[in-house]
């Protein structure tokens, strides 16, 4: 829902959000490495963003 306030396409075409903690991203060096190490996770529309989250939104436009 928060993403929808940034742009309405997020609300209409939301697929999922890939979330990683900032500290984990710095340690891993990339989202791909975070995925390999199991610290990048997929979240749905009900996920509550936490301080320090880095989020890659996947949307269908």
Domain residue spans of the chain: 2-59
Angle 40-44-50 from CA coordinates, rounded to 5°: 60
CATH label, 2-59, candidates 3.10.20.30, 3.40.50.300, 3.40.50.720, 3.30.479.30:
3.10.20.30
pTM: 0.79
Please report which helix (H) or strand (E) contains residue 24, including its range. Answer: helix 22-28
- Tell me the pLDDT tens digit for each residue of 10-46: 778 889 999 999 999 999 999 999 999 999 999 998 9
- How many other C-beta atoms are found inside a 10 Å radius of the C-beta of residue 52? 11
Question: Helix, strand, or coil here: 10?
Answer: helix
- Tell me the pLDDT tens digit for each residue of 45-57: 899 999 999 999 8
């Amino acid at each position: 829902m928060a993403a929808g306030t940034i742009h309405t396409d997020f609300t209409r075409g939301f697929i999922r959000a890939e979330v990683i903690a900032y500290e984990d991203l710095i340690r891993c060096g990339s989202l791909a490495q975070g995925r390999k190490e199991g610290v990048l996770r997929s979240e749905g529309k009900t996920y509550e963003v936490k301080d320090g989250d880095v989020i890659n939104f996947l949307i269908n436009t």
